[in-house]
């Protein structure tokens, strides 16, 4: 799977929307997962609809917009290895 999977930063766009700056191993596929409970087991976190992305070359950096009514925690999960 990806050797890198991290959220580099979170930008507050206002109005309850945010842009996540994500980084993964170029060519590997990732999904953003979320939970209202940061201590929940990883297998209970749900994939954010439309978040599956192949990390682009050469930097592996991309952005994804999110919005949440209440507190929400996010993690980047590798789903397929880089070729």
Q: Mean per-residue pLDDT for 1-25?
A: 91
25-78 pLDDT, tens digit per residue, is: 999 999 999 999 999 999 999 999 999 999 999 999 999 999 977 889 999 999
What is the phi-psi region of residue 27: left when phi exceeds 0, alpha when psi lies from -120 to 50, beta otherwise?
left
The Cα angle at residue 50 between residues 45 and 60, in degrees rounded to 5: 90
pLDDT of 1 > 70? The answer is no
Confidence at 2, pLDDT banded by 50, 70, 90? low
Q: Specify the pLDDT at position 28.
A: 94
């Amino acid at each position: 799977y990806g050797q890198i999977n991290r959220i580099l930063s979170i930008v507050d766009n206002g109005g309850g929307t945010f842009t996540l700056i994500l980084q993964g191993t170029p060519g590997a596929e990732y999904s953003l997962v979320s939970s209202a409970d940061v201590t929940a087991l990883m297998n209970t976190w749900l994939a954010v609809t439309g978040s599956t992305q192949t990390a682009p070359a050469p930097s592996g950096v991309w952005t994804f917009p999110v919005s949440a009514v209440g507190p929400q925690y996010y993690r980047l999960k590798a789903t397929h290895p880089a070729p």
